[in-house]
Structure 1
């Protein structure tokens, strides 16, 4: 082998070992982007398989806002989230809280805030203490901020957002969350001024802003029966039907026998059958987008896509999205 050929091969090896494979880097970056669904103004990483793992990250790039719902799986995507809202205590929705705490600690992040139903605060704290004990970590996990919240509380989030828990209907105590944006706008008489001039007016004590405009942005139901949308058990909050993004479970989607039988089976286990959403499509006329998650692991990705989109009612066409990323990664 000539010296020039050998030199060329060595250069390629060094380039590869240093990560100089530009095509591979591009593919990796593209793959990272692909895990997020673009839904309206939001980018959503929805990792969810019924009974196995659920954790949903929602970002709104235009506002720099993000949050996470449930923590049954601690991913690279959700470890960056400062605010985590937990719907209920089943393992597939809460068991990865200690992992999330530790990963943020390893990455030098500030402790996240974990908002959990009030009755779970002591148990989640004990869970974190137990993990620290198992790891023989005398210092414990980096002080987690575990906050008990109840239905109707106002949770202050970052970037001008807040969340309000609402009751859901599951086999254990559970709650969903509606996230709102609260944006102030300049009063009309100040809109032509520079930021320096506006700052001067504020220092002089002038009220340059309107009252905040409150907008329901995101709703997450967690595990629930369809009764969350009716007044059979609780009165649903009106804003549940006005959000830009509704993230709702549809654990059961099959129609291989009597649909009513399937619906009753879903309700028995505290879940929703897809047919209930489709048969009540009019309820969601003011919702911009619906993301279906939490399908049973017995369904393949292909079957899910077929069932969700083959019989979709006219009123929901263009609104419905589905995430199967968790199943795709497992395959």
Structure 2
């Protein structure tokens, strides 16, 4: 219980930072990259744009941590041996890119089924819109306006491999309590790893 509470508090405190970072990436990258393209923020951090589905052209962003790892065949060598190989021009490392945070912006649920977006569903944290959260609005209505309904997230629950999912962009028609109740009622495997960003709501 303590671990879960601690994670919740940590996640809640990070939610503002995550959202701010996503906005920063949007502002800095939107004029530079298109869906499928990448932009390095620094050597160990890059952003890839991915296609989303809205009533106007739209895209989301995945932030990756980038690391250089020693190739298996050089494991166990001494520091001097590795240094000598490197100075002689041997490529001793390979690059890994781990999806850390994904941010969808406005979209329909179609992004979930897009094969090009697998990293979005594997990012440690997914920030995704869920404009509508109850049966007062139909899925069809949500789709007509280019948005996600919480019931669609439930229907696709098995596709989300994210450690945590942060829901944003709730319709102003909802009271805070309605959103909280909808999140609290989520079934497994979503229960306990889906949170609502409702700061200032």
- The bucket for the TM-score relative to the shorter chain is 0.7 to 0.9
For 1:198 and 1:170, the matched residues in 2 are separated by 54
The aligned runs of 1:214-293 (5 Å cut-off) are 214-231=97-114, 235-256=115-136, 262-284=138-160, 286-293=161-168
Structure 1 residue 321: Cα displacement: 1.5
Equivalent residue for 1:162, pick from 46, 52, 58: 46
8 Å Cα contact 1:229-1:236 kept in structure 2: no
Structure 1 residue 313: Cα displacement: 1.5
1:273–1:210: structure 2 CA closer, same or farther, 3 Å change rule?
Answer: same
| Residue 175 (str. 1) matches residue 89 (str. 2) | no
Matched residue, 2:4: none
Structure 1 residue 188: Cα displacement: 2.0
Output the aligned Cα RMSD.
2.8
User: Greater RCO between the two (CA within 8 Å, min separation 6)?
Assistant: 2
| Residue 115 (str. 1) matches residue 55 (str. 2) | no
Larger radius of gyration: 1
1:222–1:203: structure 2 CA closer, same or farther, 3 Å change rule?
Answer: same
For 1:320 and 1:283, the matched residues in 2 are separated by 14
Matched residue, 2:25: 85
Matched residue, 1:302: 177
For 1:37 and 1:172, the matched residues in 2 are separated by 36
Structure 1 residue 224: Cα displacement: 0.2
8 Å Cα contact 2:130-2:147 kept in structure 1: yes
Structure 1 residue 39: Cα displacement: 3.3
Structure 1 unaligned spans of 5+: 1-35, 47-54, 58-67, 71-83, 87-96, 98-113, 117-146
Equivalent residue for 2:14, pick from 40, 43, 49: 43
For 2:176 and 2:119, the matched residues in 1 are separated by 31
1:37–1:148: structure 2 CA closer, same or farther, 3 Å change rule?
Answer: farther
For 2:130 and 2:92, the matched residues in 1 are separated by 42
Structure 1 residue 44: Cα displacement: 2.6
1:300–1:215: structure 2 CA closer, same or farther, 3 Å change rule?
Answer: same
For 2:147 and 2:98, the matched residues in 1 are separated by 28
For 1:158 and 1:318, the matched residues in 2 are separated by 33
TM-score normalised by structure 2 residue count: 0.81
- Following TM superposition, the consecutive aligned residue runs of length 4 or more in structure 1 with deviations greater than 3 angstroms are 197-209
Structure 1 residue 38: Cα displacement: 2.6
8 Å Cα contact 2:86-2:92 kept in structure 1: no
The alignment of Structure 1 onto Structure 2 pairs a total of residues equal to: 191
Structure 1 residue 201: Cα displacement: 4.5
| Residue 322 (str. 1) matches residue 192 (str. 2) | no
Structure 1 residue 200: Cα displacement: 5.8
8 Å Cα contact 1:217-1:243 kept in structure 2: yes
Structure 1 residue 151: Cα displacement: 1.1
Structure 2 unaligned spans of 5+: 1-7
Per the alignment, in what secondary structure is the counterpart of residue 316 of structure 1? coil
The aligned runs of 1:16-55 (5 Å cut-off) are 38-39=10-11, 43-45=14-16
Per the alignment, in what secondary structure is the counterpart of residue 326 of structure 1? coil
